[in-house]
Homo-oligomer: A and B are copies of this chain.
Amino acid sequence: MTVSDFRPVSESDEPPPFYRAVGGEVDVFRAAARRGSPILLKGPTGCGKTRFVEAMAYELGRELITVAGHEDMTSADLVGRFLLKGGETVWVDGPLTRAVREGAICYLDEIVEARQDTTVVIHPLADHRRELPIDRLGTTLAAAPGFQLVISYNPGYQSILKNLKESTRQRFVAISLDFPAPAVETEVVAREAGIDAATAESLVVLGNAIRNLDGSALNEVASTRMLILAGGLVAEGLPLRAAVQAAVVEVLSDDPEVVRGLGELVDAVLPRQ
C-alpha cells in the first residue's frame, strides 16, 4: 500500500495543481462533497484522475490522502494495526482512519485490486452512517466534517473476478473521465513537459491518431501521461522521433509487428525535423 500526503493549502507554498476540466466533473464533485456522498471516478490510465482529485482537494481546502490499491492490500492496511515499538504495543492509524479523524479526502486508487475486506470496511462510511468501526480497538469512529471518500478504477481493466461488489458500488456517485479535448490536452502537455506549443500539438495529434486505431493489438491507448513523458525527453534534448519511440511506441507494445506498425504511424504523423 502506498500513501502520500497532499499538504493542505494553508501549509504549502506550492502553486495550485494544474487541472483543466473536461466536462461537468467539477460540478458533480462539488455537489457530492457538500452532501458527503462518496465518489467513484471511472476512466482510463493516465487521463488525469489523480490530478483532478488533487485540484478538487486544493479548491475545497482539504487534506488529500492517497492510497494505491493492490491485490495484497487488506483492511488492516487501511484502518491500522498494532505495532510493537520498544516492547510496547502501539496502535498506528491507517490512512483511512487518519482521513476519518481529520476530515480529509481519502482517495483509494484502483481499490478494486484490493482484497474484499477492504471494500467492505468502507460500507458504513459510504452510507448514511458515516462511521468507521475499528474492530481491533473495539470502537466506532464518526467521520469528521469534511471527510470525503473517493475511489477510482479503470473500467477497461475489470475482469469477471475483480469487480466492485454491487452492494459497494451502489453507495457511490459516479464520475466518468476521459482524455481531454485536443486544445486542452496540448496546453497540459506543453505546460507539464516544458516544451513549446507546436511540439505539444504534434504529440497530441499523434496521441489521437493512436487512440483512433482499431485497438485490438494494444492493451491501452496513448495516455496524456505518456505524451508528457515524451515531451519531457524532448525538453532534455532528445530528438522528437526518438522520444516518441521510447515514451510511446516501446511502452505500448512488446510485439515486434505492433512496434513496427506504430513506428510507421509515427513517421506518417509527426512533422519532419
Partner-B contacts on A (CB < 8 A): 1-5, 24, 27-28, 31-32, 34-35, 37, 40, 42, 45-46, 66, 68-75, 77, 82-89, 92, 95, 110, 113, 115-117, 119-121, 123-124, 127-129, 131, 133, 135-136, 138, 140, 154-155, 157-158, 165-167, 169-176, 192, 219-220, 223, 225-226, 229, 232-233, 235-238, 242-243, 246-247, 250-251, 254, 259
Contacts and interface: CB of A to CB of B under 8 A. Distances in A.
A72 B238 contact: no
Contacts of A242: 24, 27-28
Nearest to A25: B246
A216 to B, nearest CB: 15
Chain A interface mostly helix, strand, loop or mixed?
mixed
B117 A70 contact: yes
Nearest to A3: B133
Contacts of A5: 140
Contacts of A232: 35, 37
B1 A117 contact: yes
A42 B250 contact: yes
Nearest to A32: B233
B4 A251 contact: no
Given A2-B133, A28-B238, A135-B3, A229 B68 contact: no
State how many copies of this chain the complex holds.
6
10 contacts: A1-B75, A28-B242, A31-B237, A45-B167, A66-B124, A70-B119, A85-B89, A158-B254, A173-B246, A175-B250
Shortest beta-carbon contacts, A-B, top 3: A174-B250, A155-B254, A70-B120
A233 B140 contact: no
A170 B220 contact: yes
A109 to B, nearest CB: 8
A215 B203 CA distance: 38
Interface centre among A42, A117, A219 (most CB of B within 10 A): A117
Contact of A170 (B45, B77, B170, B237): B45
